[in-house]
Amino acid sequence: MTDFDDETAGSDAAGSIASAALVVLREQGPLSLEEWATHLEEYGTATELADVLEYLSEPMLGYLPNGKYVALDTVLEGLVFTHRLSELEIASDILDASPDLEPILAFGDGEDGAIRVALAEEAAVERGAAPFRSRRVVVLPAGILGECADGDLIGLAVEDGRLAFRLVEIEDEPDLAPALGELFEEDGVDALDSVCWQLLLEDPSLFTVPVAPLGEIFEAAGYEHERELLARRGFDFDAYDLQIRTALVASTYDLTHDEAVAAVAFVDLADRGYTDAVIADFDIVDWARRHVSAAPDFFVSLADPGAAVAVFDLGFRNQDPVTDAILEALASELAERGPRSVRAAAHWLAGKAVDRLGRVLEAEAHYEKALLAESGWGPALFELAQFASDRGDATRALSLLGRIDGGSEENLYAVLQDFVPVDHPELGRNDKCWCGSGRKYKVCHLGKADESVKADGRWLYKKACLFAFASEFVDVVTGLDDLENANLSEDELIAATIFDGSALDVALFEGGIFADFLARRRELLPEAEVVTAAQWLGVRRSVYEVIETSDTGVVLLDRVSEETVTVVHPVEGKPGDLISARLLTAPTGALAGGVVVMSSESQAARVLEVLASEELDAEELVRESRGGADHSTDDR
């Protein structure tokens, strides 16, 4: 057995490999991936090691332009990099990192009030400063630049693995043009920090004394930087950025080059429209018509469902009224003026936009038009299946899912199995119905679900759960669940969360998603469910003691109100157990949502303390509800 044969051993092995790998790199580096692996043969085969090493996350690990890896502390210890101050930096004690300080940012862990590296936006908010040019900045102790003036030169040195501040004067002016010329092809571009590390390996004397800032040295050598990249002067960074983004989109969404080009172009067009709309009030519909009319065939490659989904995911994942209005305008124009092959995709995109704008019946009409254009267009079939489920028509929803390749693997398909019409083969069409209504079976319940199933609240709750995994909400749901499941992918989190534990329930109610569900799906939901949903909006979670379990229900004692309530559906737990849950009433009884079995009285007390807060913290509630619990369940 190798260290990779099971998950636990693999986790332990990864930690051991990371430590050993850095030791090897410090002693033997720089090394290629293959060379590196040969020094670690005791941990597994070359293939296994390559997978681990390639994705090793370690601040001191540097990747060089020649494809080799290096331990940064062995290269940068004792070196000093300079930077020329601006008035903004002096006022805030924050330094723009790019380009001058890029090579040493790995040392800015900032523990114990030391110099630290941070995202520019966060640091600016923290210090009340104006925006910075760099994506990352170096945050200095407050007041350290108080005696400095605009244009002064300061230095940051690497000392004992930490960043140290220095007032400096230039002692050398290296000419890097020859060395850079050997590294770069005519149209080459590379990461600025990576280039600097390579230069240091070739000439260890560089930056041992203060020299001019990197930006000035690069400019003198005929090079320029942008977005932490370095290239010869005149390089088209925008074209390079577009090329990289297109390749990444093609790889991520398994698209052809033409499909990726169309997807990126559509998103970029929408971004420009958003900027124009924010800066100045203008007619979005007219703007969309002009751009689509100018090149109606340009977006033909969006006809592929994967390309259309990529467009929505890349440009419209987060809900925003202006963004959605732009998407509606562009997609509607594309549906009307674009080639026939792209109409299904265009109507689907327009439907997604108007749904989020609160016009669900228009969205439904767009999805129907998408199927008129292409009867098997999967994303539109899925949206209509969800709408059919929301209306309470499980038969139609399952029929629509059945037309999708892989539709039976969707969460919606599994949910619907509990709500499909139940046939009574013992009854003839003209026999009296089993339900006691006195009507004939064929006009009463033939082909229809048991009305009691619709009235007990379970389907309504699950409709809301499925709605919560729309793109605009999925980050909230998975973010809460990630408090416990930090190593799961988004898809795995959805699978693990969809009907289990407290995270989804808290996201629905404390996170506000259920209110959005009711507002956006009110026109589809059966009238009785609208009434029930409105009653649920103000219901808080609580802690309950299981008093009695039987075939007729579970009796629970509310630890806050000290009242008992009977839940008509099974709840995991035996008499004496404490659970955290939300009790929701429905016409046929009560059900418990987001059930978690408490591990102790102390945990229950912590949950009650959080619940008693005037401003309830959703993350704290999930953390306390699930923390320490042996297991969780959901009887929905």
Q: Please give the DSSP secondary-structure letter assigned to residue 430.
A: T
Higher-confidence residue: 620 or 151? 151
Residue range 44-59: average pLDDT? 80
pLDDT at 1: 32
The residue to which tokens 């999708």 are assigned: 404
Q: Which of 560, 526, 527, 523 is nearest to 544 (CA)?
A: 560
C-alpha span between 374 and 393 (Å, rounded): 23
Least confident of 130-134, 392-396, 486-490, 501-505: 486-490
Identify the pLDDT of residue 328: 95
Amino acid identity of residue 479, one-letter, is G
pLDDT band at 350 (very low <50, low <70, confident <90, very high): very high
CA atoms within 13 A on the CB side of 226: 13
Least confident of 392-396, 443-447, 451-455, 492-496: 492-496
CB 154 within 8 A of CB 83: yes
Residue type, 173: E
In this prediction, residues 101-117 reach a mean pLDDT of 84
CB 342 within 8 A of CB 334: yes
Once rounded to an integer, what is the mean pLDDT over residues 526-536? 94
Please give the share of the chain, as a percent, with pLDDT higher than 70. 87
State the average pLDDT for the chain. 85
C-alpha distances (whole Å) from 584 to each of 209, 249, 498, 533, 590 are 70, 43, 18, 9, 6
| Rounded Cα–Cα distance for residues 567 and 599 (Å) | 21
Give the highest mean pLDDT range of 42-46, 392-396, 423-427, 614-618: 392-396
Predicted confidence (pLDDT) per residue in 275-291, tens digit: 877 777 778 889 999 98
In this prediction, residue 178 has a pLDDT band, given cuts at 50, 70 and 90, of very high
Dist. CA 530–CA 22, nearest whole Å: 60
H or E stretch at 580: strand 578-586
pLDDT tens across 185-222, in order?
Answer: 777 899 999 999 999 999 999 999 999 999 999 999 99
Q: Between these two residues, 279 and 596, which has the higher pLDDT value?
A: 596
Give the confidence band of 173 by pLDDT, cuts at 50, 70, 90.
Answer: confident
**Least confident stretch, 49-63, 364-378, 441-455:** 441-455
Q: State how far Cα 494 lies from the chain centre.
A: 12
CB atoms within 10 A of CB 505: 33
What is the secondary structure of 309-363 as a DSSP string?
HHHHHHHSSS--HHHHHHHHHHHHHHHHHS-GGGHHHHHHHHHHHHHHTT-HHHH
The CA angle 427-431-434, to the nearest 5 degrees, is 65
The two tokens of residue 263 are 């997807």
| Mean pLDDT, residues 238-259 taken together | 95
Which uninterrupted H or E stretch holds 391?
Answer: helix 378-391
Residues 101-124 have a mean pLDDT of 86
Residue-level pLDDT at 390: 96
Tell me the average pLDDT across 174-189: 88
Mean pLDDT value of segment 59-64: 91
201 against 624, higher pLDDT: 201
Which residue intervals of 168-303 are DSSP H helices? 177-183, 192-202, 214-221, 237-253, 257-279, 284-294
What is the widest separation between alpha-carbon atoms in the chain?
A: 102
Whether residue 96 contacts residue 89, with contact meaning beta carbons closer than 8 Å, is answered with: yes
Q: Do the beta carbons of residue 88 and residue 107 sit within 8 Å?
A: no
Q: In the prediction, which pLDDT does 448 show?
A: 59
Predicted pLDDT of residue 353: 96
Other residues' Cβ atoms within 10 Å of the Cβ of residue 257? 12
Q: Say yes or no to pLDDT of 438 above 70.
A: no
Q: Are strands 578-586 and 136-139 parallel, antiparallel or unpaired?
A: unpaired
Q: How confident is the model at residue 627 (pLDDT cuts 50, 70, 90)?
A: low
pLDDT of residue 9: 43
Q: Above pLDDT 90, what percent of the chain?
A: 53
Residue 520 above 80 pLDDT? yes
Angle, helix 305-315 to helix 237-253, in steps of 10 degrees: 120
Q: Kindly give, in sequence order, each residue whose CB lies less than 8 Å from that of residue 436, ignoring residues fewer than 6 positions away.
A: none
In angstroms, rounded to a whole number, what is the distance separating the alpha carbons of residues 601 and 326?
A: 53
Beta partners for 549?
Answer: 554
pLDDT above 50: residue 10: no
30: pLDDT strictly greater than 80: yes
Asked if 221 and 235 touch (Cβ cutoff 8 Å), the reply is no
| Lowest mean pLDDT, pick from 21-25, 206-210, 274-278, 595-599 | 274-278
Work out the average pLDDT over 290-298: 88
Q: Which residues contact 69 (CB under 8 A, 6 or more apart)?
A: 25, 29, 30, 31, 32, 33, 36, 53, 61, 62, 63
In the predicted model, is pLDDT for residue 12 greater than 90?
no
Does position 401 have pLDDT exceeding 90, yes or no? yes
